[in-house]
Amino acid sequence: MADLNAVKQALREQRIETPSWAFGNSGTRFKVFAQAGVPRTPEEKIADAATVHRFTGVAPSVALHIPWDKVADYAKLSAFAADSGIRLGAINTNVFQDDDYKLGSVTNPDPAVRRKATDHLLEAVDIMDQTGSRDLKLWFSDGLNYPGQDDLRTRQDRLAAALREAYDRLGDDQRIVLEYKLFEPAFYATDVPDWGTSYAHCVELGPKATVCIDTGHHAPGTNIEFIVAFLLRQGKLGAFDFNSRFYADDDLMAGAADPFQLFRIMYEIVRADALNPAYGINFMLDQCHNIEAKIPAIIRSVMNVQEATAKALLVDRDALFAAQAAGDVLEANSVLMDAYNTDVRPLLREVREDAGLDPDPIAAYKRSGYQEKIVADRVGGQQAGWGA
Ligand code: LRH
Ligand code: MN
Ligand code: MN
């Protein structure tokens, strides 16, 4: 049996980072359904993230996306976050929205475009110096739509050169987390399409570079927990972008499409003793809420990650290892499934109550009046979100 006190303690100490862009209007490329009360400024996104933390107690940081969250004074923004009860987390770069990036950013055949993209990465590290952020999160939309369009191998050289510049600019306590994505927007070849490519570049860069796994960025059927186990063993897993997918990069709420997969991922984390923030993995959400209310959706996602984690912590590892060692296939599988099939909601309610929180964060949010207040207050102005 797993030690219940240790399980509760681990759940109390768990940390999940929310993404600023999930609070704004975002959606599919076909239609973004605007919602009333969404943030108009980075400060309002931070206020919403702080609200998620207030009701969940486990989401004390918010990731920024530059230039979507561009401000004149990042130290001031950081102080604003602290006053709101949270801190600024990973800085996400954006080298995918300018017209200049039609043929790529850091892998573009034009050296002037590569310079511009690399300068943006360096600017992001300047921002990290002011916000106190540890993680520079890099995702490149770079790739090709047609065979022969550009030289696959040369593009890897250009990528490596840009990564090297960014890496060399990092401070002692800063690091790169390099995200990969199988396809989209590029449809024939992506320059960082999979964990192996990200891993190889991170190894080449050095100890301050690790892989970021976005759960929505794989081919259907990919065994993501294997990737997690492999990278943990190599000390190269730095971050997650949690979300759910049914088809491709759907960005639905974490744990919505396949809670069993999320459990299997979290089991590998628990198995490696990598859950505690001290280990250094940044467990982020990367989602977009087009048709559902945003703040409750983010609270729900945080709770889904907590539920998967609680089940992973409940796995009777002694019994599992014994069954594995004995080659008892059915027993090993049933030990794992017993934990997965446990209703952990009462346990998590207790954990919240122990921490002085309402056991039902969504109901508490609904009762709080926050939604009505932001709908009333946030009228006019440009609503922030994708492209803002
Ligand atoms: C790319 C991605 C990446 C971006 C975010 C907005 O699909 O997952 O993390 O920064 O979406
Ligand atoms: Mn992502
Ligand atoms: Mn994505």
Give tens-digit pLDDT for 121-165.
Answer: 999 999 999 999 999 999 999 999 999 999 999 999 999 999 999
Residue 381 pLDDT exceeds 90: no
Determine the distance separating the centroid of ligand 1 and the alpha carbon of 386, expressed in angstroms.
11
Q: What is the pLDDT of residue 157?
A: 99
Name the average pLDDT for the chain.
Answer: 97
Residue 384 — pLDDT band, cuts 50, 70, 90? low
Atom of ligand 1 nearest to the CA of 141: 1
Check if the beta carbon of residue 170 is closer than 8 Å to that of residue 186. no
Q: What is the pLDDT of residue 41?
A: 97
Determine the distance separating the centroid of ligand 3 and the alpha carbon of 206, expressed in angstroms.
25
| Residues 95-114 pLDDT 10s | 999 999 999 999 999 999 99
Instruction: Give residue ranges with CB within 6 A of ligand 1.
Output: 21, 92, 139, 179, 181, 214, 241, 249, 286
Q: What is the pLDDT of residue 355?
A: 97
Determine the distance separating the centroid of ligand 1 and the alpha carbon of 229, expressed in angstroms.
23
How many angstroms separate the CA atoms of 176 and 248, rounded?
Answer: 25
Atom of ligand 1 nearest to the CA of 214: 8
Place of tokens 């186990």: 229
Longest Cα separation, the chain: 66
Q: What is the pLDDT of residue 385?
A: 54
Residue 380 pLDDT exceeds 80: no
Q: What is the pLDDT of residue 2?
A: 85
Angle at 229 between CA 20 and CA 321, to 5 degrees: 130
Helix (H, G, I), strand (E, B) or coil at 176: strand
Whether ipTM > 0.95 holds is yes
Q: For residues 198-210, give the mean pLDDT.
A: 99
Residue 92 pLDDT exceeds 90: yes
**Phi, psi dihedrals of residue 190, rounded to the nearest 5°:** -110, 145
pTM recorded for the entire structure? 0.97
Place of tokens 């796994």: 213
Terminal Cα distance for the chain, rounded: 50
Q: What is the pLDDT of residue 78?
A: 98
| Residues 232-259 pLDDT 10s | 999 999 999 999 999 999 999 999 999 9
How many angstroms separate the CA atoms of 269 and 32, rounded?
Answer: 35
